[in-house]
Amino acid sequence: DADVTQTPRNRITKTGKRIMLECSQTKGHDRMYWYRQDPGLGLRLIYYSFDVKDINKGEISDGYSVSRQAQAKFSLSLESAIPNQTALYFCATSDPRLRAGRQETQYFGPGTRLLVL
């Protein structure tokens, strides 16, 4: 089974709708991240969380909110979706307790493809 899972894998929604993308991990990592991927722009950080009480904005947080319900769960919400939020969204985890050389590595989920009409 995958260590980092995302649901749904694909989603089509309409402008103005509220949607939630969910991420779960079984790796036991404290740190979790949400990225979006756009063609020609690579991955950009939306939000990240170092633990359930620590949530931080990333490079492009406007229009998004997050919730860290537990160590293993980190949800991304679009309160009122707009077409330019059409993208591929990735959740990732990392663990600073891992031995040197591995603690900085991020482990990614399979991605959620979102289309906003």
Partner 1 sequence: AQTVTQSQPEMSVQEAETVTLSCTYDTSESDYYLFWYKQPPSRQMILVIRQEAYKQQNATENRFSVNFQKAAKSFSLKISDSQLGDAAMYFCAYRSASTGNQFYFGTGTSLTVIP
Cα–Cα nearest to 90, from 74, 67, 69, 68: 74
11: three-class secondary structure by DSSP: strand
Check: CB of residue 110 under 8 Å from CB of residue 10.
Answer: no
Candidates 15-23, 43-51, 60-68, 72-80 — which segment interacts with partner 1 by CB under 8 A? Answer: 43-51
Q: Which stretch binds partner 1 (CB under 8 A): 11-19, 68-76, 78-86, 97-105?
A: 97-105
Q: Are 9 and 22 in contact (CB under 8 A)?
A: no
45 to 84, contacts with partner 1 by CB under 8 A? 45, 48, 50, 58-59
Interface positions with partner 1 (CB under 8 A) = 31, 33, 40-45, 48, 50, 58-59, 88, 90, 92, 94, 100-101, 104-108, 110-111, 113
